[in-house]
Structure 1
Amino acid sequence: MRGFVALAVIIAAIAVLVLFGGNETILGLRPDLIASLAWLGAVGILAFGWVVQHFRGQWTRALEAIAFWMAMIVMLVAVYSYRFELQSFANRLLGEVAPGYTVTLAGGEVQVARHAGGSFVIDGAVDGVPTRFILDTGASAVVLTSEAAARAGIDPATLFYTQPVMTANGRTMAASTTLGELTVGNITERRVPALVAREGSLSQNLLGMTFLERLASFEVRGDRLILRGRGG
């Protein structure tokens, strides 16, 4: 019987939508709202009938069951409704506890949280190989350590170290090269000029201006680095 009533509600709603579907509103309600109410009403009838059948004479338990399932439905609807906001919040939280992790926001911006030491550690990739950088706006080029270059498929032994560079360890020589792809978050730049430091002279890769100058913009906002690719 309950199934017939629920089915009748849905059929009635369909009939109303077919007859008055050309109208923007039906009895002051939008057609999509009428469809939603019909669906919820049918589900409610079935749920109420199930509660009556299984908890006959045990109304306290019945009310507890109804409250539980109503809470579950509300929670699921809320999670679905705010799924994008929740995903953004989870990414931001991960950026807090895992500096270097890049967060791609809804507008295409790439965001990185400041490291506890004060610098911006950025997880990227060179020719598909995961590579961690330190933001260095004072570096005229992207600079790779000898080890990072080797992991990315560049043989340091075949390079010519003719470019003088300044590092935290002092002055050293570096070799010019070109990276096929350099990726940070959803931003990928191709054929990026870079330098490879002589072995043992550099402990960290530097994300310098040969990558940064290709962006639409980049800025530091509080403890956040925000990168915007030209494609965004």
Structure 2
Amino acid sequence: MMYLGLIAIGLVLAVLILTDGSSSIGGVIEPDQLAGLAWGGTILTLVVAGFWHQFRERIGENLRNLLIWLALGLACVLAFSYRDRMQSVGGRLLGDLRPGTAVVGPGGSVTVTRRANGEFRVEAEVNGRTQSFAFDTGASAVVLTAENAAALGIRPEPGEFSSRVSTANGTAFTAPILLDSLSIGPITERRVDAMVAKPGALSGNLLGQSFLTRLPSYEVRGDRLILNGR
């Protein structure tokens, strides 16, 4: 390899001498450009020759290392090329392992997997704090239990539980409130009308129509609840 490089450099020098450096070579390349290529070629030849000498001494181990690096490079290229599909598969797997987790899909949609008991339990943030909700299209509003509302610093007076809200399990007395924000994954709605159920009236929070009707759409597809944000 070293000898081939030296021969090539010698040919370049011969061409430079014969042309006297006064005109372009073949009408394509200027003599100074060719000289620059020759200099660069000399450096590259020396580097490659030194590398090849080191490589040849431990060719078995070096070939194995080279194949490992090629495999890692190929894996990186494939991971980048299929990153969207891999993210979708990873999110679906997370949703199956942790039902209720908001898995973000294309266009900012959110998918929640049905739990083993058949209900959709949605993890959301209310005023910046995590709360768990049962998806309930029969609830006319978002409803918090008195205990969960107290954890958020919301404590209606006894006389305020004068409103009624319809749920899938019947009617409950509630106190109307206004939530600063309610977020499920990237979907965030602000100033959401909600209710606090009378103590002991409900066993869990309900994700009802005062939030759901703000969304462009939502649907249940098999064991998946899909919420579409704006």
TM-score computed with the length of structure 1 as normaliser: 0.72
Matched ranges for 1:1-232 at <5 A: 52-157=52-157, 160-165=160-165, 171-229=171-229, 231=230
Q: 1:108 to 1:171 in 2, by over 3 A?
A: closer
Q: Is the 8 A contact 1:51 1:62 kept in 2?
A: no
| Partners of 1:159 and 1:47 in 2: CA distance | 86
Alpha-carbon offset, residue 157 of structure 1: 3.3
Q: 1:225 to 1:168 in 2, by over 3 A?
A: closer
Q: 1:149 to 1:46 in 2, by over 3 A?
A: farther
Q: Deviations over 1:25-61 (max 9, x none)?
A: xxxxxxxxxxxxxxxxxxxx99976763433243322
| Partners of 2:46 and 2:105 in 1: CA distance | 41
Percentage of matched positions with identical amino acids? 46
TM-score computed with the length of structure 2 as normaliser: 0.73
Which residue pairs with 2:37 in the alignment? none
- Rg bigger for which structure? 2
Tell me which amino acid in the other structure corresponds to 1:58.
R
Q: What RMSD in Å do the two structures reach over aligned CA positions?
A: 2.8
| Partners of 2:75 and 2:50 in 1: CA distance | 21
Q: Is the 8 A contact 1:161 1:173 kept in 2?
A: yes
Q: 1:60 to 1:159 in 2, by over 3 A?
A: farther
**Residue range with higher mean Cα deviation, 49-58 or 207-216:** 49-58
Tell me which amino acid in the other structure corresponds to 2:197.
A
Alpha-carbon offset, residue 166 of structure 1: 5.6
SS of residue in 1 equivalent to 2:107: coil
Which residue pairs with 2:17 in the alignment? none
Tell me which amino acid in the other structure corresponds to 1:136.
D
Q: Is the 8 A contact 2:144 2:205 kept in 1?
A: yes
Gaps of 5+ in 2: 6-44
Tell me which amino acid in the other structure corresponds to 1:122.
V
Q: Is the 8 A contact 1:161 1:175 kept in 2?
A: yes
Q: Is the 8 A contact 1:212 1:218 kept in 2?
A: yes
Tell me which amino acid in the other structure corresponds to 2:96.
E
Tell me which amino acid in the other structure corresponds to 1:139.
A
Q: Is the 8 A contact 2:138 2:166 kept in 1?
A: no
